Amino acid sequence: MPICVRLVLFAAACLGLACQSNPPAAPALARGATGALARPWTRAFQREAVIIADEIQIEGPSDLIDHLALRQDDETRYHTKTVPEGLRQELVPGPDSTREVRGQIDAWSLAAFRRIVVLQRPFDVPVRVRAVGNAYFAWSDGSGEQRQDELQFQGTRGP
């Protein structure tokens, strides 16, 4: 068999392998940041809201990090540390900053004038948000307004 016929047959065989379709893979189960199978998250923070306070403290389970964002920029200082209770994150204004620090948990926007502290625990606990010092809360449509020296909110897992 001439070489050019062999090359054509070889190319056709390779093309045939490349065009084969594989059955779709089974959908993967959702996994959290730790790689563990994710349990249903709380719905407590799904409706848009705003919290403003001197300090905001957030505590939650190991997959809290999948639902949380802290805005870091040149005017903020971010610190993270492993402590006996879990992973502690802190966001504070820089020394020359006149702005608040910002974060978000699901649909809730957070603004703190002194700091936002997050404690991610290694085991399953409710999600707690605590606003301390001139605390203000409102749904994004302006309803449900609350003003106190301290406000606390909690969300538990489940549908």
Which tokens is 140 given? 């994004």
Report if residue 115 sits inside a domain: yes
Report if residue 110 sits inside a domain: yes
pTM for this predicted structure: 0.76
Report if residue 27 sits inside a domain: no
| 120 pLDDT more than 80 | yes
Report if residue 151 sits inside a domain: yes
Report if residue 9 sits inside a domain: no
- Residue range 14-32, pLDDT digits in tens: 555 444 545 444 444 445 5
Residue found by looking up tokens 């409710």 in the block: 126
Q: Name the residue range of residue 136's domain.
A: 49-155
- Residue range 36-60, pLDDT digits in tens: 556 789 999 999 999 999 999 999 9
Report if residue 71 sits inside a domain: yes
Number of domains in the chain: 1
**CB-count burial class (<10 Å; 0-12, 13-18, 19+) for 90:** middle
Report if residue 36 sits inside a domain: no
* pLDDT for res 96: 87
Report if residue 14 sits inside a domain: no
Count the helices and strands in the chain (H runs, E runs): 1, 8
107 vs 15, 27, 46, CA distance in Å? 49, 27, 5
Angle at 137 between CA 132 and CA 142, to 5 degrees: 165
